[in-house]
Amino acid sequence: MGESLQKAFFGVMALGVSCIAIQLIPVSRQAAYWNRCLDNTVNWMDKKGTLKGWEQKAKESFAVGICNGAVYEPTIKTK
């Protein structure tokens, strides 16, 4: 009796882990897409003549805004 109960528990645990793994697939795809957006945006900024003088942290911060959709103005305001 104890052995069959243990097998049932292992089966339920395996099913639970499988369900969690399946639910994480869309999250991992979105994270990969966002990371690709960030890398491509920073690489574009490195190649752009007017943005070459920016610090790396400033470029990454601006790229985060772009990838999150928080950049509303088509031109960059600099002093």
For the segment 44-58, the average pLDDT, to the nearest whole number, is: 84
Tokens of 70: 């928080």
For residues 29 and 3, give the distance between their C-alpha atoms in angstroms, rounded to a whole number: 40
Give residues with Cβ within 8 angstroms of 65, minimum separation 6.
71
Query: Averaged over 41-68, what is the pLDDT?
Result: 86
Helices assigned H by DSSP within 24-55: 25-47
CA distance 58 to 54: 6
**For the chain, domain boundaries:** 2-68
pLDDT of residue 49: 74
Q: How many CB atoms lie within 10 A of CB 66?
A: 16
Tens of pLDDT, residues 57-72: 988 998 998 898 876 6
